[in-house]
């Protein structure tokens, strides 16, 4: 873990964003709890997603399906048979790894060697440097590239053929060692199903195993006709859902990036067969715009188109965010053909077809899926927001200022109301002011410590506005409004406050960018 990531994790704990789960019992691996500021930020991100889907599209509606579902659903969806990761144990350290990740990390190391040669050469030759020629002629780069290509080819074939023996052999041939113990004593590779299994009391003895859902999507597919009929939806239309999903991840040590209990925000968009690639392109662009609306620096986002498609997909891309741990997937967009609905038709024996009145025929619609992890989005927002600056204190001396530049409409606390002193009627007036603002905004009252320290506390949680009441307030009914980012202070009449702050705090500004 790099320094920035470590600092972010400790900041998230200190300021009530994220706590390790069950901490007083030494924690539970890859499970986290959201604190008072975390839950507000998470709710706001969810609302921004939900409203940009359901509020802004007349042809998208929502559902909230149960976490427990009939076990046959997971056979139909392919999760019982194929939702596996290949795992391997190290006999010396007794640590468990994902075999594919060990090989990927090894390939990345070779890649880094090549990059190092390239950057050394670029420095040496300056403007004269011809990267293409260097790659084609330098013996060290050529040897590493050849090695990388050979292993990569063998690795992809092993994964495609589910050849676990060869996957282990690659690890042995590459002399990959356990990062903890350095040992090369590996067990065989085994497939490990990621679904959590539990028992449902009321089912008969032989069918009482059910699963905690590993994705929210299937709750949408099995309700396709219920929603279409009850809401009289016509193609193309979408169904959105947010909710918890559970995966027994083998390797989960990247804070809230990979958890065993997490939340998804998914939307399945049902279209006429043959129109799916047009809609895939459209959703790919729309979703990128949504991410961009929250960022000043758009270079922190990129697409990663999939070369190797899942058997049910005919197009797929990820939107990746540049986290402190590098570019990683925050959202997936898939053209899932008619796979899911057809499978549920087959397994349930019930028709899941749409009657197209114009074409006068019934068919199974095709589906475009947009699927984003709420926790990963949360991590993207806080990583992007975390910033260390220098700012002048009351005496004009520069001091450290830690500020969370969260988009104002998503900030956990929108307005801090701060009486300059704890007397002369200022606290009472401050509480009166909160009463007028709290219907629209999450406000926080704070009277402890110097005003400078109170500003720093609010900066550290990303509060866009601090309103200070002073003695002048009692004579002319004005307050100072301090802007988090510019630290500029304006004197504003109390009756004009709601108008002054609301533009920046409302989600409308974000919606207008979509
Ligand atoms: N219905 C499609 C689906 O579930 P996925 O790529 O497996 O696709 C979608 O998951 C999103 O869910 C990912 O882009 C990621 O943001 C989030 N996600 C997946 N596994 C996760 C985990 N273990 N912890 C946190 N977020 C996860």
3-state secondary structure 345-413: HHHHCCCCCEEECCCCEEECCEEEEEEEEHHHHHHHHHHHHEEEEEEECCCCCEEEEEEECCCHHHCCC
Contact at 8 Å (CB) between 163 and 171? no
Q: How many Cα atoms sit within 13 Å of 437 on the Cβ side?
A: 29
Ligand 1 pocket residue status of 77, Cβ below 6 Å: no
The whole-number average pLDDT for the span 100-120 is 93
Is residue 380 a contact partner of residue 109, using CB atoms and an 8 Å limit?
Answer: no
**Rounded to two decimals, what is the model's pTM?**
0.90
pLDDT tens digit sequence for 335-376: 999 999 999 999 999 999 999 999 999 999 999 999 999 999
pLDDT surpassing 90 at residue 405: yes
Is 1-66+216-388 CATH 3.30.930.10?
Answer: yes
Strands (E), 393-512: 398-404, 415-419, 443-445, 465-469, 478-483, 489-493
For residue 86 the two structure tokens come to 């290949």
If phi > 0 it is left, if psi is from -120 to 50 it is alpha, else beta; for residue 46 that is alpha
**263, 256 in Cβ contact below 8 A?**
no
Distance CA 438, CA 444 (A): 9
Report the range of poorest mean pLDDT among 156-165, 282-291, 375-384.
156-165
Number of other residues whose CB lies within 10 A of the CB of residue 410: 24
Identify whether the C-beta of residue 419 lies closer than 8 Å to the C-beta of residue 469: yes
Residue 427: CA count within 13 A, CB half-sphere: 6
For residue 237, report the distance from its CA to the centre of ligand 1, in Å: 23
Q: What is the pLDDT of residue 199?
A: 86
CB 329 near ligand 1, within 6 Å: yes
- CB 247 near ligand 1, within 6 Å: yes
Q: Determine the CATH number of domain 84-192.
A: 3.30.40.230
Q: What is the CA radius of gyration of the chain?
A: 27
Task: Give the residue range(s) of CATH 3.30.40.230 domains in the chain.
Answer: 84-192
Indicate the CATH number for domain 406-512. Answer: 3.40.50.800
State if residue 370 touches ligand 1 by the CB under 6 angstroms criterion: no
Dihedral pair phi/psi, residue 392, rounded to 5°: -70, 140
Nearest atom (ligand 1) to Cα of 252: 23
Sheet of 478-483, strands arranged across: 443-445, 415-419, 465-469, 478-483, 489-493
The answer to whether residue 503 scores a pLDDT higher than 80 is yes
Domain(s) labelled CATH 3.30.930.10 in the chain stretch across 1-66+216-388
Check pocket membership of 376 for ligand 1, CB cut-off 6 A. Answer: yes
Q: In the chain, list all ranges with CATH 3.40.50.800.
A: 406-512
Going by alpha carbons, the residue nearest to atom 16 of ligand 1 is 373
pLDDT score recorded for residue 246:
98
324: helix, strand or coil: coil
| 493 to 418, 436, 504: CA distances (angstroms) | 16, 14, 18
DSSP label at 126? G
pLDDT band at 393 (very low <50, low <70, confident <90, very high): confident
Q: CA-to-CA distance for 22 and 29, rounded, in angstroms? A: 10
57-69: pLDDT as tens digits:
999 999 999 999 9
372 lines ligand 1 (CB under 6 A): yes
The C-alpha atoms of residue 55 and residue 373 are separated, in whole angstroms, by 20
For the segment 77-83, the average pLDDT, to the nearest whole number, is: 92
pLDDT at 202: 63
Instruction: Please check whether residue 324 is in contact with residue 4, taking contact to mean a CB–CB distance below 8 angstroms.
Output: yes
């Amino acid at each position: 873990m790099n320094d920035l990531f470590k600092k972010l994790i400790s900041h998230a704990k200190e300021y009530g964003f994220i706590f390790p789960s069950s901490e007083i019992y030494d924690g539970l691996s890859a499970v986290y709890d959201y604190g008072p500021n975390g839950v507000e930020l998470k709710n706001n991100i969810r609302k921004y997603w939900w409203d940009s889907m359901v509020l802004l599209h007349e042809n998208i509606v929502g559902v909230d399906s149960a976490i427990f579902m009939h076990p046959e659903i997971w056979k139909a969806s392919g999760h019982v048979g194929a939702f596996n990761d290949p795992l391997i144990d190290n006999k010396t350290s007794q640590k468990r790894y994902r075999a594919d990740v060990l090989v990927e990390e090894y390939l990345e190391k070779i890649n880094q060697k090549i990059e190092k040669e390239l950057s050394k050469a670029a420095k040496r030759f300056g403007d004269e440097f011809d990267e293409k020629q260097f790659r084609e002629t330098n013996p060290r780069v050529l040897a590493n590239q050849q090695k990388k290509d050979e292993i990569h080819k063998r690795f992809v074939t092993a994964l495609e053929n589910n050849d676990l023996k060869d996957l282990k052999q690659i690890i042995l041939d590459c002399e990959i060692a356990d990062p903890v113990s350095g040992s090369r004593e590996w067990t065989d590779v085994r497939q490990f199903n990621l679904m959590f299994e539990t028992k449902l009391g009321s089912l008969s003895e032989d069918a009482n195993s059910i699963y905690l859902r590993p994705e929210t999507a299937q709750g949408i597919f099995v309700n396709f006709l219920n929603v279409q009929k009850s809401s009289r939806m016509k193609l193309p239309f979408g169904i959105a859902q947010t909710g918890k999903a559970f995966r027994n991840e083998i390797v989960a040590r990247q804070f809230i990036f990979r958890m065993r209990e997490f939340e998804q925000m998914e939307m399945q968009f049902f279209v006429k067969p043959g129109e799916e690639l047009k809609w895939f392109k459209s959703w790919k662009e729309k979703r990128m715009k949504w991410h961009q609306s929250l960022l000043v620096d758009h270079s922190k986002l990129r697409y990663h188109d999939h070369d190797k498609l899942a058997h049910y997909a005919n197009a797929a891309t990820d939107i990746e965010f540049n986290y402190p741990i590098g570019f990683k997937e925050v959202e997936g967009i898939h053209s899932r053909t008619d796979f899911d609905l057809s499978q549920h038709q087959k397994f349930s024996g019930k028709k899941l077809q749409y009657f197209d009145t114009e074409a006068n025929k019934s068919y199974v619609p095709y589906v475009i899926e947009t699927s984003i992890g709420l926790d990963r989005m949360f991590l993207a927002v806080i990583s992007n927001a975390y910033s260390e600056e220098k700012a002048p204190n009351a005496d004009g001396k520069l001091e450290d200022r830690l500020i969370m530049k969260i988009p104002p409409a998503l900030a956990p606390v929108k307005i801090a109301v701060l009486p300059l002193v704890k007397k002369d009627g200022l606290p009472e007036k401050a509480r009166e002011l909160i009463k007028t603002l709290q219907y629209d905004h999450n406000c926080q009252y704070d009277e402890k410590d110097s005003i400078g320290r109170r500003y720093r506390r609010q900066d550290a949680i990303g509060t866009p506005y601090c309103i200070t009441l002073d003695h002048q307030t009692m004579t002319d009914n004005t307050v100072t409004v301090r802007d988090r980012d510019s630290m500029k202070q304006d004197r504003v009449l109390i009756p004009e406050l709601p108008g002054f702050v609301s533009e920046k705090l409302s989600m409308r500004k974000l919606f207008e960018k979509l």
